[in-house]
A and B are shown apart, each in its own frame.
Chain A
């Protein structure tokens, strides 16, 4: 019990200190671009109403979810394929490294030509960025499948779909999750970026809109909301990771305990 209290204390302590510091130093600020935190919070409650949420935040999150899900399915499927076949891997790896090195925002104009300026384009921007860390990490995870376990599966006749399910996907899951984690933070950035071009709704669009109309406290409130959204998503991800990789963390702890 005291342990939980101490941990929540540690987790909440620094944010609280930063909040107070921001509040005190910004109080009575005359700088137009750095308004007092009190003003920002007032703008926050006024701006982010339920209607606003439905009109701007929700579409953003839906596009993020769609792009992220497509990237995850595509990245894992291709990653398993490329990782399991050495020849395919040798042929694909240089190309993949090249494609990965292209910053997705530069693709926006091209994607606009192909996918138009609607939701499709914005989802495509998110996919084009998120897919690489998932794909490349999956390839690494799949090629690192333990040869002894692979022999075990062969000798017990565990092949095909059962092998994929019980050996390949599970054994590569720590790397996949690492890729998914990178992709999530990338996805949030790309969600905002995709809404800076030819958008009429969305969190990113709204923040840019406030910025251009010099509604500075509102802009700040949007940035805070974006931070909170990212934080909430990473919490959800941590929960997911703790469930999927419970065995992995247990194994690591056991190995550390023994050595």
Chain B
């Protein structure tokens, strides 16, 4: 239902051209939870912005329900990494979640229902009158997730949504994504740099190469549908898949990309 065909994105500017994405082709069937994982700087965010209709690809196309995506589609919701900057600090939690619903010509009653249901689904009942900055980082990202699901999208895009929260909160939020996905059955595209997270969450994982990006591997995750942080993560199959993807990503960095990747890693370590 969501097709990415021959997507290519070249950034041009200041006499320098950077080919961020060379050629990406994959399709996402309805209702699938797909994780995209790749080395840092491999154009994950570029891809997501192209799919979201926020960025025009240089060539290739994104097709949703048979329609070419040229701008943000109406039935798509995006959760950004920077939760602190994607919520309106001047609106309460309720208004933040409700605001996108206003274009949908729903009755006030229905809007309230949707907001309440979404807040309940992410475990935030009772915080509707708070302001986002009164909440912890993990809770703010829950608000952003609630806003996305209240919107009742056909496709949910998530751009490294848990990169900025602590490890324990991250585990809880991963389980939240699984439960939300089960409950609402929404097609989900989840971008991450974290291999464990990709394996734990996904029905399927696409490994992206380093920039200029192509699909390195497309892998079905044959773990049981019921997952939990303890048993799933200690299952032998989880370790196998994890090791396999890890090796793929190392290979993705390649001999040529190795130096650049190592540099990127030191920078990341310095940044952290």
Interface positions of A (Cβ within 8 A of B): 146, 148-149, 151-152, 154-158, 162, 166-167, 170-171, 173, 247-248, 250-251, 254-255
Contacts and interface: CB of A to CB of B under 8 A. Distances in A.
B133 interface: yes
Interface stretch (B86-94, B172-180, B195-203): B86-94
Given A148-B86, A166-B91, A155 B99 contact: no
Contacts of B90: 170-171, 173, 247-248
B110 interface: no
B200 to A, nearest CB: 26
Contact of A149 (B49, B86, B151): B86
Contact of B89 (A155, A157, A158, A247): A247
A248 B88 CA distance: 11
Given A155-B76, A158-B100, A166 B88 contact: yes
A254 B100 contact: no
B163 to A, nearest CB: 14
A155 B52 contact: yes
A247 B53 CA distance: 31
16 contacts: A148-B80, A148-B85, A149-B85, A151-B78, A152-B86, A155-B77, A156-B77, A156-B99, A156-B100, A166-B88, A170-B88, A173-B90, A247-B90, A248-B89, A250-B133, A251-B131
Nearest to A173: B90
Given A156-B151, A158-B103, A251 B54 contact: no
A255 B133 contact: yes
Contacts of B103: 156-158, 162
Interface in B46-89: 49, 52-54, 71-72, 74, 76-78, 80, 82, 85-86, 88-89
Contacts of B82: 148
B134 interface: yes
A58 B52 CA distance: 57
Nearest to B132: A251
A171 B80 CA distance: 19
B85 to A, nearest CB: 4
A162 B89 contact: no
A148 B99 CA distance: 16
Contacts of A167: 88
A175 B112 CA distance: 33
A151 B81 CA distance: 12
Contacts of A250: 131, 133-134
A166 B131 contact: no
A158 B100 CA distance: 7
B102 interface: yes
Nearest to B95: A166
A173 B89 CA distance: 12
B133 A155 contact: no
Contacts of B80: 148, 151-152
A157 B72 contact: yes
Given A149-B86, A156-B100, A247 B76 contact: no
A205 B77 CA distance: 62
A171 B78 CA distance: 21
B99 A166 contact: yes
Given A148-B82, A149-B85, A158 B99 contact: yes
A146 B85 contact: yes
- Across the A-B interface, the 6 shortest Cβ-Cβ residue pairs: A156-B100, A148-B85, A247-B90, A254-B133, A155-B78, A251-B133
A98 B52 CA distance: 43
Given A146-B85, A155-B53, A155-B54, 11 more contacts: A149-B88, A152-B86, A154-B72, A155-B76, A156-B72, A156-B151, A157-B72, A157-B103, A166-B91, A250-B133, A251-B131
A247 B80 CA distance: 22
B150 to A, nearest CB: 11
